[in-house]
Amino acid sequence: MKKIINDPQNFVDEFIEGILLAHPQLVKTPGEDARVMVRADAPVAGKVGIVTGGGSGHLPLFKGYVGAGLCDGVAIGNVFSSPSSDQVLEATKAVSGGAGVMYLYGNYGGDVFNFDLAADMAELDGISTLTVVGRDDVASQPRERAADRRGVAGIFFAFKGAGAAAERGDSLEQVAAVAEDIVDNTATMGVGLTPTIMPMTGKPSFELSDDEMEIGIGIHGEPGIHRGKLETADEIADRLTLPQIEDLSLQKGDEVALLVNGLGSTPLEELYVLVRRVHHNLAERGIVIAKHYVGEYATSLEMAGASISMLKLNAERLALLNAPARTPFFQEI
């Protein structure tokens, strides 16, 4: 697999440097460690700060959602690896404006451990924190074990809603409640068509034959719930969408926000073919798509494939999604 890289050991630091150089009006690094990035105007006095983080390899997740109306800071790990607790703590201090800091990240063991440790250290520094964990991957656990689900592309909805709540001046407890509410009403499922190639080794992270697909795959290549021959776009869309309708208990008259996300190497044209089928599936059931997001929101390096996410809407959730935001990779006017 050909890659546009220099020394693989420098891959993460070099693309972070590129982001900082390309978007100095939006993001900055607060200290010596460039793997900690915050919004350019951080800290914002009197505002709840939101810190996210996780492994590299998922742009625009997590680094691309730092800015006004979304997250205030991010701690950045190596490819598919957790950031350190010290990096999380540095981001926490850098965005703390006196109203507390909320941690919002995907449900992975290393991230949970290091964010929890950072929370303990932040408390010693007099910074109040609360944690909400993204857990939207319906393929990883059933609804009754939703607390153990993986966090994947649907965490974008939580970033957007919590970011809007913090921007309007909500308290730490209120921002966390908004994030929990959105997480509880979000579902995602993905399909992988090719493995991702790890920059450090030049080798695939898992094996998948040229004529195979994997339904329910994780964004690090974690096993899904079905591996078989490649199916049509409509059949794939049905496999991804129908379990979410059931999981969210969607009924006639309900409204949703729809996110059709490319995993790194899927053309936009193919994503819109999926959008078409999802529309038909929901319209047949009287479910309305009130807001669309189509593109790359949470990738897995160059993996071919896609994920579909839905957020069950009410008036408050839709208003939060519609609130202004601006980051290097996202803008809502």
- In the predicted model, is pLDDT for residue 205 greater than 90? no
Residues above pLDDT 70, as percent of the chain = 100
Q: What's the whole-number average pLDDT of the chain?
A: 97
**Structure confidence by residue, pLDDT tens digits, 13-48:** 999 999 999 999 999 999 988 899 999 999 999 999
pLDDT value of position 203? 87
> Where do we find the tokens 């393929």?
139
Residue 124 forms part of a structural domain: yes
Which of 282, 325, 302, 309 is closest to 197 using CA atoms? 302
* Average pLDDT of span 316-326: 98
The span from the CA of 50 to the CA of 116, in Å, is 15
**58 a catalytic residue:** yes
* Single residue among 184, 219, 249 that ends a domain in this structure: 184
Which of 20, 24, 17, 26 is closest to 327 using CA atoms? 26
Encode 116-144 in three state secondary structure: HHHHHHHHHCCCCEEEEEECCECCCCCHH
pLDDT value of position 201? 86
Residue 156 forms part of a structural domain: yes
Residues above pLDDT 90, as percent of the chain = 94
Question: Does 123 share its domain with 87?
Answer: yes
Question: Does 212 share its domain with 296?
Answer: yes
The span from the CA of 186 to the CA of 312, in Å, is 7
Question: Does 200 share its domain with 177?
Answer: no
Contact criterion met (CB below 8 Å) for 159 and 319: no
* Single residue among 184, 215, 240 that ends a domain in this structure: 184
171: containing domain: 8-184
**Structure confidence by residue, pLDDT tens digits, 267-303:** 999 999 999 999 999 999 999 999 999 999 999 999 9
Residue 120 forms part of a structural domain: yes
* Single residue among 156, 184, 212 that ends a domain in this structure: 184
For residue 57, the 8-state DSSP code is S
pLDDT classification of 1: cutoffs 50, 70, 90: confident
Catalytic residue among 58, 226, 279, 292: 58
Residue 212 forms part of a structural domain: yes
Question: Does 171 share its domain with 191?
Answer: no
For CA atoms 287, 289, 295, 296, the dihedral sign is: negative
Residue 263 forms part of a structural domain: yes
> Where do we find the tokens 């719930």?
225
Question: Does 161 share its domain with 143?
Answer: yes
Question: Does 95 share its domain with 235?
Answer: no
Residue 113 forms part of a structural domain: yes
Question: Does 192 share its domain with 263?
Answer: yes
Domains: count for the chain:
2
Question: Does 135 share its domain with 44?
Answer: yes
**Structure confidence by residue, pLDDT tens digits, 177-198:** 999 999 999 999 999 999 998 9
Cα 243 vs. chain centroid, distance in angstroms? 20
pLDDT value of position 200? 85
* CATH number for the domain harbouring residue 71: 3.40.50.10440
Name the residue with higher pLDDT: 207 or 12.
12
The torsion of the CA quartet 47, 48, 49, 52, rounded to 10 degrees, works out to -150
pLDDT classification of 307: cutoffs 50, 70, 90: very high
Residue 328 forms part of a structural domain: no
Question: Does 239 share its domain with 180?
Answer: no
* Average pLDDT of span 67-94: 97
Residue 255 forms part of a structural domain: yes
Least confident of 218-227, 237-246, 253-262: 218-227
Question: Does 250 share its domain with 200?
Answer: yes
Question: Does 255 share its domain with 197?
Answer: yes
Question: Does 49 share its domain with 145?
Answer: yes
* CATH number for the domain harbouring residue 266: 3.30.1180.20
